[in-house]
Amino acid sequence: MPEYLDDPSVLTKDKLKSELIAHNVELPSGNPTKDVYVQLYLDRLTAQNKKKHAAAAAPDAFSSDEELPPPAVSNRSRSSGRKATKKSEKLHPEEVDVTALTDEDLRDELRKHGVNVGPIVESTRKLYEKKLQKYLDDGPVQPLPTELQVNHNGNSESDIYSDKEDEEVAVPEPVIEPEPEPVPVVERRVRSGVKTPVSTRTGSSSSSRHQKVEKISASEQNLKVEKDVPKELFSGDMNSPTGISVSCRKPIRGAAGRPVISSDLWNEEISFASPTTKTSSYSYTESHAVNRVSSVNPSASFASFTASSSSSNASSSTPFVTAPSAGPSRAVRRSMPLWKKLVLFGVLATFLIFVYLAMETNSVSPFQASEAAAGGTA
């Protein structure tokens, strides 16, 4: 008893043709699709197959069940063997052949799967067929679930392994694409380092240093400076013109035309406590030289003043000019320019000279008088 295949689609078109011819089945004219031959085969031969089975008093359902496994097995074997075959060949016999569908049917099928279908023209048809095929392979929505499952399992597995390489490769690729590339945002650490001129080690006085440190910290607040502790040490001379002072002392106030700050003066005063008292006392005596008419005091004061000034100069290493300026500006801020002080000094000096000359006769006389007295008495 010749067993006709219940799934003629596993055969090639040519084989189908030959089978039909062998069984005296009329072939349709022209060059129809394979599905036509499949249908013919089914109609003519499979029906005969069933008739023969019917003679054995086996129900159709039963017979269909019996006939299922072999086709399924044959499907699997065939599908695994052929890689380049059309997917439509492996399909369930009830399954539509996407290539045989009309444009409208193809569109309807795609719409069932929720695809927004565009015009199906020559260039797009193949793509839509492929797409429908993919949907069908993934999860066919068809009747006869048992058959479907059997074949579906075999088909899907085989398809995934064999024929779906291209699509599977294509699918993950677009998936990968939309992934946002994590652009590493590297925060630029603002390492300022030491932008402010760090040059000196100053053993400057505390108050000025604090002022300078405050300025520095305010300016560097935005900058992340890690070295804060040594920065304080290197607070340096921000007020000096070049910012660089190599010496251990802060810039000298009152020298080279620099404005004298009262705070500095106070500091100077502390250091100059001893000599300034002398100078102040001498300057005081100077001012009162008019009242005191004594030859010794003015001259002595004048001489001592110069000596003290020189001593003060030596101690402070300030120029000679600063000493007289320090004296008169002791209590008051320096308001008198230098030349005025010199003029005043000259005026006082001449005045004292006049006094001296005026008293010279007197001074001579006491000595003479004293000598005379001494000589007279002796």
Partner 1 sequence: MSSTSQKHKEFVAEPMGEKPVMALAGIGEVLGRKLEENGFDKAYVVLGQYLVLKKDEELFKDWLKDTCGANAKQQRDCYGCLKEWCDAFL
What kind and span of H or E run contains 90? helix 87-90
- What character string, x for contact with partner 1 (CB under 8 A) and - otherwise, covers 302-331? ------------------------------
Minimum separation from the CB atom of position 107 to partner 1 (A): 12
- Residue linked to tokens 């992340």: 224
Minimum separation from the CB atom of position 252 to partner 1 (A): 57
Applying CB under 8 A, the site for partner 1 has a residue count of 16
- What character string, x for contact with partner 1 (CB under 8 A) and - otherwise, covers 240-259? --------------------
Which residue, 109 or 264, is less far from partner 1 as judged by CB?
109
Contact status, residue 294 vs residue 279, Cβ threshold 8 Å: no
- Rounded CA-CA distance 113/97 in Å is 16
- Rounded CA-CA distance 212/236 in Å is 8
Q: What burial class does residue 377 get, using C-beta atoms within 10 Å of its C-beta: 0-12 exposed, 13-18 middle, 19+ buried?
A: exposed
Only segment of 166-174, 231-239, 255-263, 345-353 that touches partner 1 (CB under 8 A): 166-174
Instruction: Return all residues near 166 (Cβ < 8 A) that are at least 6 apart.
Output: none
Minimum separation from the CB atom of position 166 to partner 1 (A): 8
335 binds partner 1 (CB under 8 A): no
Which residue, 73 or 127, is less far from partner 1 as judged by CB?
127
What kind and span of H or E run contains 35? helix 34-41
Residues 167-226 that bind partner 1 (CB under 8 A): 170, 173-174, 177, 183
The alpha-carbon radius of gyration of the chain (Å, integer) is 60
Residues 96-135 that bind partner 1 (CB under 8 A): 116, 118-119, 121, 123-124, 126-127, 130-131
The first and second tokens of residue 293, run together, are 């008419």
Minimum separation from the CB atom of position 119 to partner 1 (A): 6
Minimum separation from the CB atom of position 171 to partner 1 (A): 8
Terminus-to-terminus CA distance in the chain, angstroms? 187
Minimum separation from the CB atom of position 84 to partner 1 (A): 15
Which residue, 166 or 187, is less far from partner 1 as judged by CB?
166
Which residue, 167 or 232, is less far from partner 1 as judged by CB?
167
Which residue, 87 or 253, is less far from partner 1 as judged by CB?
87
Minimum separation from the CB atom of position 80 to partner 1 (A): 25
Amino acid occupying residue 224 = K
- Rounded CA-CA distance 62/267 in Å is 119
- Rounded CA-CA distance 130/108 in Å is 14
Which residue, 52 or 134, is less far from partner 1 as judged by CB?
134
H helices, E strands: number in the chain:
18, 0
Which residue, 127 or 303, is less far from partner 1 as judged by CB?
127
- Report the Cα 344 to chain-centroid distance in Å: 68
Q: Which of 131, 361, 345, 226 is nearest to 336 (CA)?
A: 345
Which residue, 127 or 300, is less far from partner 1 as judged by CB?
127
Residues in the site for partner 1, rule: CB under 8 A?
116, 118-119, 121, 123-124, 126-127, 130-131, 166, 170, 173-174, 177, 183
